Amino acid sequence: MTSKKKKHLYVHYFWTMNTLNCNGVLIDLSVPLVMGILNVTPDSFYDGGKHNSLVASFAKAEQMIVDGATIIDVGGMSSRPGAEIIDVAEEIDRVIPVIKRIKKEYPDQIISIDTVHGAVAEASLSEGASMINDISAGSIDPSIMEVAMKSQVPYILMHMQGKPSDMQKDPTYNNVVMDILSYMKTKVFELRNLGLNDIIIDPGFGFGKTITQNYSLLDKLSVFKILECPVMIGISRKSMIYKPLDISAADALNGTTAAHMIGLRNGAKLLRVHDVKEAVQAINIHNLIERQ
């Protein structure tokens, strides 16, 4: 085999690893992309209530699309520390009208459903969502795994110690990076054996981690490449940003951008963010470095 042919196979291998199939629409993650957060809840930690109507939520979605979001992540349940799991019917009532409106105006827009419930995921997929973002990794409602496998849409596998209601009560690890890597390795193996193809890894920043543990994960993020799955980070305006800086979430954009760049340099392929335009700019700067 010639060296030229070897190079071709090498590039093809990693191109395959970085491609997600969203109901027939391929997303190429060889270059990092942005997922915009659309919380249609009254109680999310940063923007709770701001988009808690169809008009407001669609306007926010439209602005994120204009600003460059490849994916819109629609969520109807807050997962902030201390939050309780809400009723399935209530969650469906919140998210379905928004998904339907976005798909009506932007038929080609990729929509992710941020939920822990299989029934919510299934209802959302039937209305045009084509990705599942599950903070519980199937621990709250195992049926969500069946929905993901049946639909064969990309599934975001996130690590969380405990549940939102208790996850920040003394989170403890032997080694936070290696413990989560081991957890992810086991879960990815299980999901692959069950036939799920497109898996995205999310270490779960702020979900059962101290500030120090969050920064250990961010610093060592590149170790998750061993799992051969794209890595997503969700650190936008979180307490790991604003508490050490002694500011509020409202003032945490600059710190978020700095942390995003660290994540990008360590291998993140998806940024889940509140501020799409600024995240796209950070990726553009990162790409300039990568081309050197």
Full-model pTM: 0.89
Who's near 250: CB < 8 A, 6+ residues apart? 46, 237
**195 in any annotated domain:** yes
Which of 94, 163, 209, 272 is an active site residue?
Answer: 272
**168 in any annotated domain:** yes
**2 in any annotated domain:** no
Please tell me the predicted confidence (pLDDT) of residue 51: 59
What average pLDDT does the chain have?
89
CB of 164 within 8 A of CB of 81? yes
Q: What is the CATH number of the domain that holds 252?
A: 3.20.20.20
CB of 161 within 8 A of CB of 136? no
Angle of helix 118-126 versus helix 143-151 axis, rounded to 10: 30
Nearest CA to 129 out of 117, 111, 114, 145 is that of 111
- Say whether pLDDT at 150 is over 50: yes
**pLDDT per residue over 267-287, tens digit each?**
999 999 999 999 999 999 999
Confidence of residue 11 (pLDDT cuts 50, 70, 90): very low
**7 in any annotated domain:** no
**12 in any annotated domain:** no
Which of 238, 265, 269, 291 is an active site residue?
Answer: 238
Report how many helices (DSSP H) and strands (DSSP E) the chain contains, helices first: 10, 10
- Say whether pLDDT at 265 is over 50: yes
Q: What is the DSSP letter of 42?
A: S
- Say whether pLDDT at 165 is over 80: no
Domain count within the chain: 1
> Does 272 participate in catalysis according to the annotation?
yes
- Say whether pLDDT at 2 is over 50: no
**36 in any annotated domain:** yes
H runs (alpha helix) in the chain: 3-17, 54-67, 88-105, 118-126, 143-151, 176-193, 211-219, 239-245, 253-265, 276-290
**pLDDT per residue over 210-259, tens digit each?**
999 999 999 999 999 999 999 999 999 999 999 999 999 999 999 999 99
Least confident of 53-57, 157-161, 283-287: 53-57
What does the pLDDT average to over 128-150?
Answer: 94
Q: Which domain holds residue 271?
A: 29-290
**23 in any annotated domain:** no
What does the pLDDT average to over 24-46?
Answer: 86
**1 in any annotated domain:** no
What does the pLDDT average to over 96-101?
Answer: 96
